[in-house]
Amino acid sequence: MSSRRLHLSLVFFVAALVLAASLIASLLSQQNDAFEAADWVSHSVDVRARLQQLLATIDDGPTQTPRALGMVVALREKMIDRARAVEALDAVSVELGFGLEHARTRLEELIGEETSLLMDRRQTLARESRQARFALTIGGMVVVLLLAAAFYIVTRDNRQRRAAEDEL
């Protein structure tokens, strides 16, 4: 095998390895993004369920006010990153002592917002999953083609070397 052909074979092989490594890094990054999106979906489902449970507790009447206040505190901790939701929960906790109708209205608004957020997060998760599958498919095909090209070059050079040896 000539030095030039060996060098070319090695270049193809190294290129395939580098491409495979970059593909794996990209897939791991996309997988982390998909896991974050899945966590968002799970968090939104949990918050929405807790909001609905709080609404049901408020509907049970004023005797449930201490329990409802505890639920508001727990929800506030889960939704601390959303200032508007925290303000609404603070208003709910104040209104629990006065009028349940305002609290009920605010909770229904929060449930609607959480449902909308949940739908957005599910769409994000679906989009990121499609992107990861596409990248895996394309990257895998490119790596296989590069490895096949490197294998072809090596076997062709071996045949030519054998033919040259036989000729000698």
pLDDT tens digits for range 94-111: 667 656 677 777 778 888
Per-chain mean pLDDT for the chain: 76
* pLDDT of 1 over the 60 cut: no
pTM given for the model: 0.54
pLDDT at position 2: 64
For every residue of the chain, which 3-state class applies, written as one string? CCHHHHHHHHHHHHHHHHHHHHHHHHHHHHHHHHHHHHHHHHHHHHHHHHHHHHHHHHHCCHHHHHHHHHHHHHHHHHCCCCHHHHHHHHHHHHHCCCCHHHHHHHHHHHHHHHHHHHHHHHHHHHHHHHHHHHHHHHHHHHHHHHHHHHHHHHHHHHHHHHHHHHHC
pLDDT-derived band at 62 (thresholds 50, 70, 90) equals low
**pLDDT tens sequence across 138-163:** 877 877 887 787 778 778 888 888 88
pLDDT at position 35: 72
